[in-house]
Amino acid sequence: MIVTVIQENLTRTLDLPICSEISGYGSICTQEMVELEEKLIQENLVELQAWLKRLTEQAVNQGVKATSDYTYGQPREKICAMAKEWGADLIIVGRRGRSGLSELLLGSVSNHVVHHAPCSILVVQ
């Protein structure tokens, strides 16, 4: 299973207008700006779906049974939960190479998965 997890931001999670978190004294965004952001999100999703389809086709062409999908949520938790749900034997996860303060402040998906996954992990730089 080839999967990517899109981290939801606060405005999407709470169904708030996109610009409401920017301004405490009223919105500075127009409806046109909101529509443009929605259009960009949809375009990015189309690109993501095409990328996942290409990866799946490459795997299948190499004789590997594969499917792909995307989901929303906290990547570190979703990856572990999905692996448990699928009964995965191995998770292959990328690593950006953050360390020190940036890892502490921004978190590390790969580090969390290594410590919480229900199966073996292969971390790729």
Sorted by where each starts, the structural domains of the chain and their CATH numbers stand as 1-73 (no CATH), 74-125 (3.40.50.620)
How crowded is the C-beta side of 75, counted as CA atoms within 13 Å?
18
Whether residue 66 contacts residue 72, with contact meaning beta carbons closer than 8 Å, is answered with no
CA dist 85 and 83 (Å) reads 5
Low-confidence ranges of the chain (pLDDT < 70): 9-28, 97-107
pLDDT of residue 39: 87
pTM for this predicted structure? 0.69
Q: Please give the distance of CA 94 from its chain centroid, rounded to a whole number.
A: 12
Which conformational region is residue 87 in: left (phi greater than 0), alpha (psi within -120 to 50 degrees), or beta? left
Cβ burial of 115 (10 Å; 0-12, 13-18, 19+) is: exposed
